[in-house]
Amino acid sequence: MDNSINWPYFLSNPLSDLAIGTAAGLVSKSTFLGTVATATAWLTADLYNRNAQYWEDSAMMILKGQITGVKLTVTPNCGNSYPAVFRTYTRY
């Protein structure tokens, strides 16, 4: 802001207070879709980090000789519900 305009006069009137308050409310307002998007992004990152941590731990255990490998077992779901298969990882 420069000194050529009396900015405090414009910022201190009731209409600008209402406009600034409304703009701040709209910017900071959390909509349902925004909340869902944030939760989905957090859940995806959390699951990815858990999966990455599992494989990192497995690799370290193999290098230390605690286990010899990881086995993936795929079991079909006989019902009509989700998920179609169950995946089970086993360290051996």
**DSSP letters along the chain, please?**
--TTS-HHHHHSSHHHHHHHHHHHHHHH---HHHHHHHHHHHHHHHHHHHHHHHHHHHHHHHHHTS-S-EEEEEEE--SSSSPSEEEEEEE-
What would the pLDDT profile of 41-92 be if each residue is shown by its tens digit? Answer: 888 888 777 888 888 999 999 999 999 999 989 999 888 888 888 889 999 9
Task: Delimit the domains of the chain by residue range.
Answer: 7-66
What would the pLDDT profile of 7-48 be if each residue is shown by its tens digit? Answer: 666 666 666 666 767 766 665 666 777 777 777 888 888 877
Q: Examine the pLDDT at 3 and tell me if it is beyond 90.
A: no
- Res 82: pLDDT: 85
Q: What is the pTM of this model?
A: 0.49
- Res 37: pLDDT: 79
- Res 31: pLDDT: 74
Residue 42 to residue 30: CA distance in whole angstroms: 16
- Res 6: pLDDT: 66
Among candidates 75, 77, 71, 78, which has minimal Cα distance to 87? 75
